[in-house]
Structure 1
Amino acid sequence: MMKAKLASELSGSASHREDRLEFLASHGGPFFEIQRRLNIVHERNLHTSRRILMFVAAAWVVPLLLTLPTLAWQTPTLRAYLTDPGPWARFFIGIAAFLAAEQAVESGLRRKLGQFLRAPLIPPSLHGSVIVAVDKSLKRRDSFVAEAACLALAIVSVLLAFATFRQAPSTSWAVTVTGDVPHLTLAGWWSVFISIPLFIFLFARGVWRHLVWAQLLRNIARLDLRLVSTHPDGKGGLAFVGEYPNAYVLFVFGVSCGMAAAVAKHQMQGDLSVATLTTIMAAWLLLVLAFFAYPLSAFSKPLAQMKDRTLLTLSARATTLQRASERKAIGENVVAPDVAEAEQSIDPVDLSKQYEQTRKLSSMLVNRRTLLPVAAAALIPFAIAGASQLPYKEVFSVLKKLLLV
């Protein structure tokens, strides 16, 4: 009975510690609090589907409705709006992807963080340090200054969008020309002041929260973790951490759609060669991989140090064991025989498999195989944009090489 009670207490204690380690990436902060007070989100439910409908309606549907009165004009703008890749990519797909990603990111990061305790990779003596690190991260997540900076970027995007739209051709849905003077249409004004800043704000907010998570991982990497060189995952027991970027597939897809829309628009206005598209896609893929490699690179040092120390220890132990085996087989050591050494009692152990497993251990948590879903999310929008004008076989060949080579 006492053992059962003790086990229950230990289980409850572990569960409590795991709760303290929760990092809810999509909760907290002024923007979340505003949505909560408006009953758009709840502490236990992000109401993702409802929010997608609301935000996409505000960003994409309203400008569409504002183009309807132009059907009576000589040059209606409805068709121009529906055939422009920009609104589709940013206001419809991009914003929907950002909001849908919030649930996936939050669930994915919570599982990865909890695994540090479930493994258990963190010694009990360091649980307090981890809880402190998580608390600091939550404060950064909820920072008013950080979200104010995101809002400032959104305001800057308003100014840039206003200047860009004023230079748009007269056939654009966002601009009408009276005489020689361009004027924004109602749909253009709405996009400048609502749609574009909403896209930029959600993007910047998502990037900031990832940077907060990245710093938390780097803090954990500095701890004396319970790593083991012969772990079957080949990463010392940390392979699960290297898979966290896949929680960001939808977020990366949303950002890439916005970027690819700019490429598609440029392609409509001029020639875009396969070589140029390849360069753009390769540069974007490297940027995305670097974005996720930053937090994961912190684990390379402890993994490399463990591998080096384990190999040296195994090598030294193997020398002792093999010399003992040599004495047993032929009666003495051929090189540097030692009477004191010969009197030692040593149990034979085969370290070959352990040594080979340790030798194969990789200190890099970032690799193409584990990040393939994220890489695909980053490149597919560009491939679609390129295939609209370039031979699809050549575009597919570029996509295949970047993903698999």
Structure 2
Amino acid sequence: MTKAASQIGEYLASHGAPFYDLQLRIGLLRRDSLCVSRRALILVAMTWGVPLVLSAVAGRALGPADRSPFLLDMIAWARFFVAVGAFVLAEQMTEDAHRATLRQFERAPVIAPSSIDDAVNAVLRACRGRDSRTAEAVCLLLALLISVASYSRLTSVPGSSWAVEASPGEHNRLTLAAWWCLMVSGPIFWFLLLRTVWRGFVWSELLRRLAGLELRLVATHPDGNGGLGFVGQVPNAYTLFVFAVSCVVGAALARHGLDQQLTTTTATAVMAGWLLVVFGLLCFPLTAFSNPLARLKKETLAATGAQATQFHREWERKTLGHNIAAGETAEEQVDVADPSKQFETTGKLSIWLFKRSTLVPVAVAALLPLAAVAATQLPYKDVAIILKKLLLL
């Protein structure tokens, strides 16, 4: 392996950029470790623990459901407890999976020697995208804007809760816990979400650039994808992230259910729509490899088909003494190997890297939170039928 090739597998998806550098300086992580468990605990304590303490001091952490205490707020649980912690924990999963994928490109080796330099440049470009100060600044700005938009919603909601004190004829007054969520918890949640989406886009672009290089593929590879089957495992790296976002979507669906009855039709539409969004985002970068795989399949079938004609006409002459169709020519008397098995295997080559078996964990992570919410208002049998239909598509 050349020195240039060895650089391909050193892409660290969760390193770099100002937020990483800040955490490095204050000791939340190390260059050789993301310390995801410790960081997840600290951030959850900041985003969910502090509002809990403030709500408890104000007597708004527990109480009847009609008073909307903090510990009964599904949105707060989903965003600040589950999602924030899961976003941090998922960093290690995605980084390990991306690194293993790129190293397999080297180990196979899938990338032709003539394209190694281009592959290294693609990785370096991805590193620049990952480290972009502008991208993180935009993520932070959007997170702050979303939090500002939440302020106007809170001041106009009817009734008191852990977040607001309703004042008849006036705007609601926000509690200290609500102010903390607006200024700290909300921006952290949205920033981590948007930052992960951005880095997912950077990874997607890297895969698409690698797909455009000269690849050493073989149609008869046992993985059924020309030797690229390992790339199809990438969506599984986002299982925890998908579960976290699905919890947030599920909490929103639960709040909708408090306002109006959830029907089977609505639950099916929401779950199917969300599953399509998840699959679309995770599978889209894999479609870039469909073109080289389609060319490989077409050209291999053409080559093996031509050789099969020669082999079987030769076998026919040896068996029958002559060819039934078109007679015998001197040019046809050649000794070639039987390509029938290769032709048959090539015909089974799939140009799509995503398979049901690899997407089931992601589908389960996407649907379980929504199914749990649906089960609170619909019969278990109906929810089970919806899940069965969606998972067996």
**Fold-level similarity (TM above 0.5):** yes
Relative to structure 1, the CA distance from residue 279 to residue 74 in structure 2 (aligned partners, 3 Å threshold; closer, same or farther) is: closer
Matched AA of 2:92: Q
DSSP-derived class of the 2:357 partner: coil
Determine whether 1:194 maps to 2:184: yes
1:280-291, aligned counterparts within 5 Å? 280-291=270-281
User: Deviations for 1:196-249, whole angstroms, at most 9, x for unmatched residues?
Assistant: 111110000000001000000000001110111111111111111011010111
Q: Percent identity?
A: 47
Q: How far 1:328 sits from its partner (Å)?
A: 1.1
Q: Which moved more, 1:177-186 or 1:216-225?
A: 177-186
d(CA) in 2 for partners of 1:394, 1:379: 14
DSSP-derived class of the 2:59 partner: helix
Give the structure 2 partner of residue 185 of structure 1: 175
d(CA) in 2 for partners of 1:19, 1:228: 24
Give the structure 2 partner of residue 302 of structure 1: 292
d(CA) in 2 for partners of 1:169, 1:152: 29
Relative to structure 1, the CA distance from residue 74 to residue 115 in structure 2 (aligned partners, 3 Å threshold; closer, same or farther) is: closer
Q: How far 1:333 sits from its partner (Å)?
A: 1.7
Relative to structure 1, the CA distance from residue 331 to residue 73 in structure 2 (aligned partners, 3 Å threshold; closer, same or farther) is: closer
TM value normalised by structure 2: 0.95
d(CA) in 2 for partners of 1:109, 1:66: 40
Give the structure 2 partner of residue 5 of structure 1: none
DSSP-derived class of the 2:324 partner: coil
Q: How far 1:127 sits from its partner (Å)?
A: 1.2
Relative to structure 1, the CA distance from residue 145 to residue 72 in structure 2 (aligned partners, 3 Å threshold; closer, same or farther) is: closer
Give the structure 1 partner of residue 118 of structure 2: 129
TM value normalised by structure 1: 0.92
User: Deviations for 1:148-197, whole angstroms, at most 9, x for unmatched residues?
Assistant: 11011101111221122122232321110234321111111111111111
Q: How far 1:256 sits from its partner (Å)?
A: 1.0
d(CA) in 2 for partners of 1:318, 1:42: 59
d(CA) in 1 for partners of 2:229, 2:286: 10
Give the structure 2 partner of residue 52 of structure 1: 40
Determine whether 1:235 maps to 2:212: no
1:170 touches 1:177 (CA, 8 Å); kept in 2?
yes
d(CA) in 1 for partners of 2:350, 2:139: 37
d(CA) in 1 for partners of 2:174, 2:218: 63
Q: How far 1:76 sits from its partner (Å)?
A: 8.7
Q: How many residues align?
A: 391
Give the structure 2 partner of residue 351 of structure 1: 339
Give the structure 1 partner of residue 129 of structure 2: 140
Relative to structure 1, the CA distance from residue 33 to residue 147 in structure 2 (aligned partners, 3 Å threshold; closer, same or farther) is: same
1:67 touches 1:76 (CA, 8 Å); kept in 2?
no
Matched AA of 2:180: W
Q: How far 1:74 sits from its partner (Å)?
A: 12
d(CA) in 1 for partners of 2:237, 2:29: 21
d(CA) in 1 for partners of 2:227, 2:255: 46
